[in-house]
Amino acid sequence: MSEIERQYQEMGIDDDVYAYGKRILQDLEERFRDIDEIAEYNQLKVLKAMQECQVSEACLLGTSGYGYNDLGRETLEAVYAKVFHTEDALVRPQITCGTHALALALMSNLRPGDELLSPVGKPYDTLEEVIGIRPSKGSLAEYGITYRQVDLLEDGSFDYESIRKAITDRTRLVTIQRSKGYQTRPTFSVKQIGELISFVKEIRPDILCMTDNCYGEFVETIEPGDVGADMVVGSLIKNPGGGLAPVGGYIAGKKECVENAAYRLTSPGLGKEVGASLDVLKSFYQGLFLAPTVTAAALKGAIFAANLYERLEFAVIPDGRESRHDIIQAVTFGSPEAVIAFCHGIQAAAPVDSHVTPEPWDMPGYDAQVIMAAGAFVSGSSIELSADAPIKPPYAVYFQGGLTWPHAKFGILKSLQALVNAGLVDKSRLRP
């Protein structure tokens, strides 16, 4: 037995499970090389932006109080604008999460009487209350901003005919969610998003196009800003925070859009000029610097999981061979026991709270119990290895993250081991 096999064994991975994983990986060498190449490109892109903006030691220090003349904050926002190829950016710890960033971008760029259009079907769950699809205090609907949606065609493609019809004189902003989130539609490539934006702009060039970029950053070499998006929006406790940002969100985009967002985040008249960065800047810079390779690690984990479970005849979305545009992997297990065992395995692989056992619970806002596995350094961070699943048919787990590839690999082997230990996957199926 090799040294590494012994180490895995000491950490609860049987020979059979390890050997099975090793065989799966042999077929993935070329895919992983491509991912490394994208990470290499993106690493240089981030580095170039940091160098061109002359990030200095002083930028790593924060401000307190009003935060006037915050060099680090202003430089960081310039770096984001360069990385996403947009005119400007707002990158703040005061943006509390991805939903907040998206809500901010929408509320600050829409006015009463305007209409918001989603041409890609239902948006992410938490946006339903922002928009007012589910009534909520302070929703866009309460401010007289209406919403229209065009669903995707059966095959997951854009319904251009219906989109054309849905665009009216009142249409002000089009929101395009890159990642499938927790739906079963495909995730869009940046190129596809570009085609949709071009289509919209041909009908009415003054319509603003926003992309919800959550989970998509650095998966490809281009970002939505490269294909005409007026705003690119996301969370720093996902990909671009590189696992180090402890909080935050970003809006990169046209100068005017970003200014509107800043006026809404702080106050009319104050905009970007205030907002103390406290002590987070170093983690924002360092996290962004690491983000390309961290995203690559998470992506390898997702592809490894897809291939490993696909060969055991579980349904996986995306499948093992599909090209990737986000870091989320869904695996359908078909039974609550298997879903729970999978999550136990992920939890047991964590650097924090590995000794606790996650259980399904009645989470507010969900119609079924939900189980979540996460042992993260940053609470709720989903660029760190994590999984969650509603306990209802078809009993699918959504899995994402992994700050390093060895950790993502270990977590997935641990999940398989948990299924084997629970008698839900027969060991004979792991043999060649």
Ligand X SMILES: *Cc1c(COP(=O)(O)O)cnc(C)c1O
Q: How far is the CB of 358 from ligand X (least distance, A)?
A: 18
Binding region for ligand X (CB under 6 A) out of 40-48, 165-173, 210-218, 385-393: 210-218
Q: Which residues contact 170 (CB under 8 A, 6 or more apart)?
A: 113, 114, 115, 146
Which range, of 8-16, 47-55, 93-101, 202-210, touches ligand X by CB under 6 A? 93-101
Binder among 21, 62, 67, 98 for ligand X (CB under 6 A): 98
215 lies in the binding site for ligand X (CB under 6 A): yes
> Taking the complex as a whole, how short is the minimal distance between the CB of residue 215 and ligand X, in angstroms?
5
Looking at 70, 88, 129, 212, which residue binds ligand X (CB under 6 A)? 212
- Name 158's Cβ contacts closer than 8 Å, sequence gap at least 6: 119, 120, 152, 192, 195, 196, 199
Question: What amino acid occupies position 55?
Answer: V
For residues 224 and 229, give the distance between their C-alpha atoms in angstroms, rounded to a whole number. 5
Interface residue with ligand X, options 94, 109, 177, 329 (CB under 6 A): 177
Rg (CA), the chain: 22
Q: Closer CB to ligand X, residue 39 or residue 214?
A: 214
What residues numbered 220-259 form the site for ligand X, per CB under 6 A? Answer: 235
Count the neighbouring beta carbons within 10 Å of the beta carbon of residue 174.
Answer: 28
CB 182 to ligand X: min, Å? 8
Q: Give the shortest CB-145-to-ligand X separation in angstroms.
A: 19
Determine, following the binding rule CB under 6 A, whether residue 43 of this chain makes contact with ligand X.
no
* Shorter beta-carbon distance to ligand X: residue 73 or 100: 100
Total residues contacting ligand X by CB under 6 A comes to 12
Give the one residue of 179, 192, 260, 381 binding ligand X; rule: CB under 6 A: 179
Q: Which is nearer to ligand X, 99 or 146 (CB)?
A: 99
Piece in contact with ligand X (CB under 6 A), picked from 94-102, 148-156, 290-298, 313-321: 94-102
Lookup: tokens for 276: 């103390």
Position closest to ligand X via CB: 98
Kindly state the smallest distance separating residue 236's Cβ from ligand X, in Å: 9
Q: Please enumerate in sequence order all residues whose Cβ is within 8 A of that of 57, keeping only pairs 6 or more positions apart, or say none.
A: none
Binding string, residues 100-139; x marks residues near ligand X by CB under 6 A: ------------------------x-x-------------
Given the rule CB under 6 A, which residues bind ligand X?
97-99, 124, 126, 177, 179, 181, 212, 214-215, 235
